[in-house]
Amino acid sequence: MASDVIVVGAGVTGLTSAVVLAERGLRVEVWTRSPSAETTSAVAGGLWWPYRIRPEAQASAWALRSLAVLAGLAERPEETGVRMVEGTHGGAVPAELGPWAEQVRGLRAAEPEELPRGYDRGVRCRLPLLDMPAHLDYLRRRLAAAGGTVTVRPVASLGQAGRAAGAVVNCTGLGARDLVPDYKVYPVRGQVVVVENPGIDEWFTVADDSKPELLYVLPQPYGVVLGGTAGEHVWDRTPSPCTAQAIIARCSRVHPRLCQSRVLAHRVGLRPARHRVRLEAERLPGGARLVHNYGHGGAGITVSWGCALQTADLVEL
């Protein structure tokens, strides 16, 4: 066999898993039906934050492990696409966030003067904010430096990959619905608007798992990402002009200057949600080891390195 491991999927979960495996000395090949630039990961806003992921205890461990890695990568932002950026999560206090919040250095309750009009409480912290196209490019370069490859090719079945390598890692996200098949995976549609930056240098978010409308303002090198939406079981990837206007209006209440910013792009991504992340190993009929790593909801970036490290441990058992 030419490869020790085939990773199926080239989003942030697949590439991160492939990097960890290759840097442990395994011969790794990534098979993907779409280039990384066309995956949901490329559309993501890029903020580290445990959003739409369960169970809490395990997800917290993955998230905190990833936070440590991303903080290290942020020391080389031009190379990695990762920056540490100050910001505010509105409408919450630290005690409401969960046990993970106690482990985030510097996380504290916001002072009244630090909150935008309309908010009487919030949380302040400095977190990784990823320029996702740049970060995906970095992961591909890092994988190549470790001897790994990426091949754009259709994958008819996981068994097909299992016949070409001793181990397969399934990082197909929504693709797992048909490939496993696992109909517990479903889309959560997210729409964002990218606008010219009028001078915003901090992120701001308000996220509620129970609501389809979100609010986030994420300054990136290429503009400001404004969001967003969380439409469960919605497959349509076509941007809605009405939704875009509503997003801009919500974000402009926090930063009034945004209503005058020129729109640069409209983007839609489908988050791969599941009642819980599937990160476990089994055997394919031909004997190859199969490790599943999918169903991360809106926290794929947030748990990417923690899940990748555990995935590699499972491959090597």
Query: Is there a binding annotation on residue 297?
Result: yes
φ, ψ dihedrals at 83, nearest 5°: -125, 150
CA separation for the pair 302, 46 (Å, rounded) = 9
Residue 247 known to bind ligand: no
Q: Which residue has the tokens 């599937």?
A: 278
Residue 298 annotated as binding site = yes
Q: Which uninterrupted H or E stretch holds 32? A: strand 28-32
Q: Is 33 annotated as a binding residue?
A: no
- The answer to whether 301 is annotated as binding is yes
Q: Please, are residues 87 and 127 in contact by the beta-carbon 8 Å criterion? A: yes
Strand locations in 75-212 (E) = 82-90, 108-109, 122-130, 149-152, 165-170, 186-195, 203-206
Note the helical H segments in 228-298.
Answer: 241-254
CB atoms within 10 A of CB 104: 18
**Amino acid present at 213:** E
Residue in this structure with the two tokens 């630090």, named with its chain if needed:
114
Q: What single letter denotes the amino acid at residue 126?
A: R
Q: What's 131's DSSP letter?
A: -
11 marked ligand binding residue: no
Is 300 annotated as a binding-site member?
yes
- CA distances 275 to 41, 175, 213, Å, are 20, 16, 20
The two structure tokens encoding residue 254 = 């926090």
Please check whether residue 71 is in contact with residue 128, taking contact to mean a CB–CB distance below 8 angstroms: yes
Residue 155 assigned to a binding site: yes
Per the annotation, does 162 bind a ligand?
Answer: no
Judge whether 13 is annotated as a binding position. Answer: no
- Please enumerate, by residue number, every residue annotated as part of a binding site for FAD: 40-41, 155, 172, 297-302
- Please enumerate, by residue number, every residue annotated as part of a binding site: 40-41, 155, 172, 216, 271, 297-302
- Please enumerate, by residue number, every residue annotated as part of a binding site for D-dopa: 216, 271, 298
